[in-house]
Amino acid sequence: MLRGRLPVTHMSSAIAPVKPSGTAGPKEVELILVKEQNGVQFTSSALVSPSGQTHPSGEERETWGKKIDFLLSVIGFAVDLANVWRFPYLCYKNGGGAFLVPYLFFMVIAGMPLFYMELALGQYNREGAAGVWKICPIFKGVGFTVILISLYVGFYYNVIIAWALFYLFSSFSAELPWINCNNTWNSPNCSDLNATLLNDTHKATPALEYFERGMLHLHESTGIDDLGLPRWQLTSCLAVVIVVLYFSLWKGVKTSGKVVWITATMPYVVLTVLLLRGVTLPGAIDGIKAYLSVDFLRLCDAQVWIEAATQICFSLGVGFGVLIAFSSYNKFSNNCYRDAIITSSINSLTSFFSGFVIFSFLGYMSQKHNVALDKVATDGPGLVFIIYPEAIATLPGSSVWAVIFFIMLLTLGIDSAMGGMESVITGLIDEFKFLHKHRELFTLFIVVSTFLISLICVTNGGIYVFTLLDHFAAGTSILFGVLIEAIGIAWFYGVDRFSDDIQEMIGQRPGLYWRLCWKFVSPCFLLFMVVVSFATFNPPKYGSYYFPTWATMVGWCLSISSMIMVPLYAIYKFCSLPGSFCDKLAYAITPETEHHLVERGEVRQFTLHHWLVV
């Protein structure tokens, strides 16, 4: 126990740690009061257990109102539209139940370890995606990389929510507008004869024409170089989305933590209701059987494993800075290990569960039109804005089912969009401290800027810009960002030091399995994925429209603009540090709290033990 004599004349206090600094768990401190009276010093002391939200540095930070607020926020962010429109199709396409083998394999060796790593990183350092890199200053550029990626994704992701809102408003009618071809936007190619339509490439369904012509007005654009003006209907829907996002985020986690009680739980209620309705439809069981049919021969196809790995990378939401931002508002002693297991598992189970909902309706569509299931099975926006609405339109009380379905899409999208915005806001206000006092104004600036840029996606040719952003904003760049993040933490900061940090928070050191994954397995997995993303690159296209070369180049510039932050900041940091080359390198890779050790020549990273220890 440390005690100190204070040369004071009246009264003062000091705080001394009861446990050594390396001890696990929350620290108890001894408050020592020293009072001098008539030349005699009287000392009294008391043990004080600090609250969980106080970091060892002594900094106070806003925390979640309740633990469940954090869990729902993480689940709400990770469980998004892709869980509904991507995973079920991949499962069906790649061997049904057999697809779960590579999916779960990559989940265990890469998905969960990376998820756990980001939650622990944010919780211990209590800052956003850029600020956490005080643990290894030269890597701070990767923080700006993920902030930029989240910002870019917001430019087009909010547009999907606006589409869902447009469809929701359209559903409040006696007859859904995508049922027949008797509308002003329909073309001569529109046909209600759905039984033969799916085999005729020259015809279009009413649902397809409503999406492309009734909502997007795509027929009024010839390509990405002919966008036109924003459509006022979609602009209004986008404005509503932006207003909802602002008032969900403006006060920080105290407000967003309450919003997710609705947005994170509503999808599960709606999915359950839709499943109960779907399984009663003719052909539904055939659809579910096709979804679950096991074809282990497909596991011999390398593409199946690549698609499983890709799905893991993007479905958990690692690399957007959101998990770091959310966990930075946790109490310091929160059990982030348990949170990582719970939330990542719920995400995967939701993806699997949604497949039953989707394929019960696809089986119904297949039987109704007397066509093979692969003629109606698709992924992406086409599934939730064309195929599924078309299926709903054939049900009794179709307007009610449409309203229920699009409310689900809205809630799936809103909390994911909130997560992306929070990553940007937290990351920047933690980096530029003066913004803390002006969070409301800064949040307004971010959401309004996002709205103005998103307007380009609600023009007549906006779907082309949307497709370009979707293809390049968070593809190779996010894999690259997570790779650099994993290398920076496991190798430069040190997996042993990182494990000590976790032990200090939760009183339990990560097992050998997690440390091996962080140091070897996950970086190798991510490096493989970066190489594959370059090797399998296909230029973007929408339907039969192929983007011009200049558009593809613009897309690559967008992707590179976030990745280049890593080397640019590393060069800036290295050049701005004092001393010789070795001194600069030592300061650049040593945690800011240990720079005094560099002055004494004690640099952990310059020892062989640092690189070999696990």
- How many whole angstroms separate alpha carbon 268 and alpha carbon 248? 21
* Contacting residues for 123 by C-beta, under 8 A, at least 6 apart: 327, 328, 330, 332, 334, 336, 505
3-state secondary structure 169-237: HHHCCCCCCCCCCCCCCCCCCECCCHHHHCCCCCCECHHHHHHHHHHCCHHHCCECCECCCECHHHHHH
* Contacting residues for 178 by C-beta, under 8 A, at least 6 apart: 206, 207, 209, 210, 211, 214, 389, 390, 393
- How many whole angstroms separate alpha carbon 521 and alpha carbon 311? 17
Residue labelled with tokens 């007005």: 217
Cβ–Cβ under 8 Å, residues 600 and 586: no
Q: Which residues are annotated as a binding site?
A: 76, 78-79, 83, 315, 347, 412, 415-416
**What residue type is 93 in one-letter code?**
K
* Contacting residues for 570 by C-beta, under 8 A, at least 6 apart: 138, 139, 141, 588
Beta bridge partners of 204: 190
- How many whole angstroms separate alpha carbon 129 and alpha carbon 286? 46
Could you tell me the CA-to-CA distances from 426 to 416, 502, 548 in Å, in that order? 15, 22, 37
In this structure, how many other beta carbons lie within 10 angstroms of the beta carbon of residue 39? 5
Q: 260 is written with which tokens? A: 């997710």
- How many whole angstroms separate alpha carbon 463 and alpha carbon 216? 7
3-state SS assignment for residue 334: coil
Q: 170 is written with which tokens? A: 């359209």
* Contacting residues for 278 by C-beta, under 8 A, at least 6 apart: 284, 356, 357, 360, 361, 364
Q: Where are the alpha helices (DSSP H) in 302-438?
A: 302-315, 322-327, 336-369, 381-382, 388-393, 398-431
* Contacting residues for 62 by C-beta, under 8 A, at least 6 apart: 252, 253, 254, 329
- How many whole angstroms separate alpha carbon 377 and alpha carbon 392? 15
Q: Which residues are annotated as a binding site for Na(+)?
A: 76, 78-79, 83, 315, 347, 412, 415-416
Q: Which of 150, 213, 207 is nearest to 176 (CA)?
A: 207
Cβ–Cβ under 8 Å, residues 186 and 357: no
Residue labelled with tokens 């290894």: 136
Cβ–Cβ under 8 Å, residues 170 and 177: yes
